[in-house]
Amino acid sequence: MIRAAIFDMDGLLVDSEPHWRAMEREVFATVGLHLTDDECKQTTGLPIPDVVNYWYARAPWTEQAAGGRTNAELGDEITEGVHERIANFAEPMPGAIAALEFFFRRGIPAAIASASPMSLIEVVVDRLRIRDYLKLWHSATLEARNKPAPDVYLGTAHKLGVQPADCVAFEDSGSGLLSAYSAGMRTIAVPAAFELGNPKFAIADVIVPSLTAFSQEVLDVIQNKVHSS
């Protein structure tokens, strides 16, 4: 039986990915790395330190080009810029509020398990006005390992007081899906349109093109898989 619903945040509840990509392009341009929007999509779902390391490994910039800034500081610049953009401009993803309301009406606690820092989660919760729908929110930056490791999902289940197998997790990225799957949760993948057919999502119990497609029928499929496990 499903006793809790756990949601990823970026790109799943909030339309934040365009803001992340915009800031990545802006900050990386300062070190001479000029990325396209499509190139930035290659790292969708990765924690920002991993994004910086990903591009540094492929197109290393010099300390001089970075103006003395470390890779960690470049990551911080991206995150700080995204905080500001999301606080002022971000909108919920289609179906996100309705999905939270779905569980709220049924008395099933909902939580956020995000790779983003707690400060950004707070910004999103306030921007989307979803505080009342959530039991809690948890950041993988407070765990030993970020996604795709299962730590943040295991930690969230522990805080909720439920077993991972009794949770359904919603994820839009392959990295996040692997995190929830490895935690032993039932999973619903909600890939972005540009990677809807990507085989990395095959491990999900259910794949939907948008949270607008989530329904009682979809939850019943998940419930039946739980009962038959």
Residues of the chain with pLDDT > 70, as a percent, come to: 98
- Asked if residue 98 and residue 47 are part of one domain, the reply reads no
Look up 205 and say whether it is catalytic: no
The domain boundary, picked from 72, 89, 106, lies at: 89
* Residues 141 and 161 grouped into a single domain: yes
pLDDT at 24: 97
**Claim to verify: residue 101 and residue 209 sit in the same structural domain:** yes
Task: Based on the fold, state whether residues 159 and 77 are members of the same structural domain.
Answer: no
pLDDT score for 86 = 94
Domain boundary among 65, 89, 113: 89
On whether both 208 and 126 belong to a single domain, the answer is yes
Looking at residue 227, its pLDDT comes to 47
CB 7 within 8 A of CB 112: yes
The answer to whether 15 is a known catalytic residue is: no
Is the entire prediction scored with pTM above 0.85? yes
Asked if residue 129 and residue 79 are part of one domain, the reply reads no
Interval 169-208: pLDDT, tens: 999 999 999 999 999 999 999 999 989 999 999 999 999 9
How many domains is the chain built from?
Answer: 2
Q: Does 47 lie in the same domain as 23?
A: yes
pLDDT of residue 224: 86
The stretches in the chain having pLDDT less than 50 are 227-229
Please give the residue range of the domain that contains residue 141. 4-15+91-228
> Are 107 and 175 within one domain?
yes
Contact indicator for 204, 222 with CB cutoff of 8 Å: no
CATH number of domain containing 26: 1.10.150
Residues 113 and 205 in one domain: yes
113 lies in the same domain as 73: no
